[in-house]
């Protein structure tokens, strides 16, 4: 009896999990938590933004921008993050760093995301100073962004 | 009771499996954001284009050696000779590396580099001044100095650089009791071909594009991605290149 209950429970979990996975794939859209951080310097001077993907459920991926970053740079970084997630699956035990080296500015195409990016940056700038990984001190805040779809 | 326990377990597993969208620590600011990003010094793809212009040849060398042998180094003023010169450069990401030099004879020289970077429309984007290099040899002798300079550019994907180097060789001496300087000047120029915009992201279309210098209606990105393992060793490098970002990637 115990074994049957166990197997039934396991089966139910499996069916639900598979169903949820299938639904996720069908819509291919989901929301993930990311940290947006403003720091004094990025890992290389020519980088306009960096995106770190940890493939680790215990920590969010991180978008890093310079302190004086514009909303346009955050728009580009979010777009870049979405492109990276779409193209490169996460790799447990590995860290992905996407670097944006150049971006066009003040584009009409960025308009849909610009207002939100402006709000996000304002929130980050209100956050107190803290350690930001091995990038030194900076400010950061966590957000939900949609990827896929 | 047991069944309820299993359903509860199922819900927990669902949380971990079905909704596996990893969200790290909630909240923001005030707390340290702990992570260690690998060093950025490795694995950076460097699109390179190389252009050579007038490298020194063996013929130049033998000519110069013959000339030295034929001249009497004590005979007052000897001509300043400039047999050959070269300029070449390459883009390494956003830095323009330039090498130049000459092969000649005299008692001193000055090398004056000038770098112009233009967009695809011919508009001047950057004019770099590089310190002239000057040296007095004293004695009349063979000279073959080379220099390498790095010009940081403002990430003009698609930019093209024209490097002009003026070489001036001089020979100082005394002729009939008068101090005399003879000059020989020449110019070498190299056009460092357009900094390559890396291959486009196929699904996004477009590509190979030159970034608009400012504004416009479209958002363009140049980006690359490096994956490293926990030891910092590079696993993969993806050069996404410079592409137009479209549609869903820009959704609010």
What confidence tens digit (pLDDT) does each residue in B161-183 have?
888 899 999 988 877 777 888 88
- In this prediction, what percent of chain A has a pLDDT beyond 90? 48
- Which range, A135-139, B12-16, B191-195, has the best average confidence (pLDDT)? A135-139
Asked if the Cβ–Cβ distance from B24 to A107 is below 8 Å, we say no
Chain B residue whose CA is closest to A77:
B221
| Mean pLDDT, chain A, whole residue set | 82
From the list A90, A33, A91, the residue with the least C-alpha distance to A61 is A33
From the list A71, A50, A78, the residue with the least C-alpha distance to A134 is A50
pLDDT for B1 equals: 38
C-beta neighbour count of B12 within 10 angstroms: 11
pLDDT for B198 equals: 46
CA distance A38 to A80: 17
What confidence tens digit (pLDDT) does each residue in B107-166 have?
899 999 998 888 766 778 788 888 899 998 878 888 888 888 888 776 556 677 888 899
pLDDT for B131 equals: 87
pLDDT for B35 equals: 86
Is any Cβ of chain B less than 8 angstroms from the Cβ of A30?
Answer: yes
- Residues 40-69, chain A: which have Cβ within 8 Å of B? 43-48, 50, 52, 54, 56-60, 62
Evaluate if pTM is beyond 0.90: no
* Locus of tokens 């950057």: B126
Separation in Å, CA A139 to CA A54, B2, B24: 19, 48, 17
What secondary structure letter does DSSP report for A132?
B
Give A74 or B126, the one with higher predicted confidence: A74
> For B40-49, B73-82, B183-192, which range has the lowest pLDDT when averaged over its residues?
B40-49
* Contact assessment for residue A41 and residue A135, using Cβ atoms and an 8 Å cutoff: yes
pLDDT for B24 equals: 35
Tokens of B2: 């047991």
> For A20-29, B73-82, B166-175, B243-252, which range has the lowest pLDDT when averaged over its residues?
A20-29
Is any Cβ of chain A less than 8 angstroms from the Cβ of B38?
Answer: yes
pLDDT for B52 equals: 38
CA distance A20 to A37: 32
Residue B69 burial (CB < 10 Å; 0-12/13-18/19+)?
exposed
Is any Cβ of chain A less than 8 angstroms from the Cβ of B40?
Answer: yes
B93 chain-A contacts, CB cut-off 8 A: 46, 101
* Locus of tokens 């079905």: B18
Helix A2-27 and helix B2-16: axis angle, to 10°?
A: 30
Residue B83 burial (CB < 10 Å; 0-12/13-18/19+)?
buried
A47 chain-B contacts, CB cut-off 8 A: 40
Asked if the Cβ–Cβ distance from B216 to A104 is below 8 Å, we say yes
On the question of pLDDT at A10 being above 60, the answer is: no
* Contact assessment for residue B171 and residue B78, using Cβ atoms and an 8 Å cutoff: yes
Tokens of A106: 């003040």
pLDDT for B201 equals: 34
Q: How many residues does chain B have?
A: 252
Q: What is the mean pLDDT of residues A51-56?
A: 91
Q: Using 50, 70 and 90 to split pLDDT, how confident is the model at B10? A: very low
On the question of pLDDT at B33 being above 60, the answer is: yes
Give B99 or B94, the one with higher predicted confidence: B99
Domain borders along chain A are 30-147
Q: How many residues does chain A have?
A: 149
Tokens of B227: 């994956």
CA distance B249 to A80: 8
What is the SS3 assignment for B12-56?
A: HHHHHCCCCCCCCCCCCCCCCECCCCCCCCCCCCCCCCCECCCCC
Give A60 or B213, the one with higher predicted confidence: A60
């Amino acid at each position: 009896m115990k074994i049957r209950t166990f197997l039934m429970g396991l089966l139910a979990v499996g069916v639900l999990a598979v169903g949820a996975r299938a639904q996720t794939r069908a819509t291919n859209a989901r929301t993930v938590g990311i940290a947006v951080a403003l720091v004094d310097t990025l890992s290389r001077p020519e980088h306009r933004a960096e995106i770190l993907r940890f493939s680790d459920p215990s920590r969010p991926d991180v978008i890093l921008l310079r302190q004086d970053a514009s909303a346009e740079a955050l728009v580009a970084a979010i777009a870049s993050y979405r492109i990276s997630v779409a193209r490169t699956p996460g790799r447990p035990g590995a860290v992905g760093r996407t670097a944006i080296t150049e971006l066009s500015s003040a584009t009409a195409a960025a308009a849909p995301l610009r207002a939100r990016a402006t709000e996000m940056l304002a929130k980050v700038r209100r956050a107190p100073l803290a350690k930001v990984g091995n990038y030194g001190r900076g400010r950061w805040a966590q957000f939900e962004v949609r990827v896929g779809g | 009771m047991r069944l309820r326990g299993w359903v509860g377990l199922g819900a927990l597993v669902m949380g971990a499996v079905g909704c596996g969208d990893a969200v790290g620590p909630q909240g923001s600011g005030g707390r340290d954001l702990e992570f260690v990003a690998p060093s950025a010094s490795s694995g950076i793809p460097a699109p390179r284009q190389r252009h050579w212009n007038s490298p020194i040849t063996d013929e130049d060398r033998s000519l110069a050696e013959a000339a030295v042998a034929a001249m009497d180094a004590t005979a007052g003023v000897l001509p300043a000779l400039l047999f050959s010169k070269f300029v070449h450069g390459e883009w390494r990401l956003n830095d323009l590396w330039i090498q130049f030099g000459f092969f000649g004879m005299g008692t001193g020289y000055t090398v004056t580099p000038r770098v112009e970077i233009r967009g695809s429309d011919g508009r001047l984007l950057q004019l770099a001044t590089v310190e002239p290099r000057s040296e007095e040899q004293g004695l009349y002798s063979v000279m073959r100095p080379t220099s390498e300079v790095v010009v940081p550019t403002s990430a003009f994907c698609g930019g093209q650089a024209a490097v002009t180097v003026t070489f001036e060789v001089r020979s100082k001496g005394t002729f009939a009791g008068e101090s005399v300087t003879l000059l020989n000047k020449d110019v070498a120029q190299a056009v460092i071909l357009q900094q390559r915009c890396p291959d486009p992201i196929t699904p996004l279309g477009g590509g190979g594009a030159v970034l608009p210098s400012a504004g416009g209606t479209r958002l363009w990105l140049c980006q690359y991605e490096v994956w490293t393992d926990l030891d910092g060793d590079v696993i993969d490098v993806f050069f996404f290149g410079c592409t137009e970002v479209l549609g869903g990637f820009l959704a609010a």
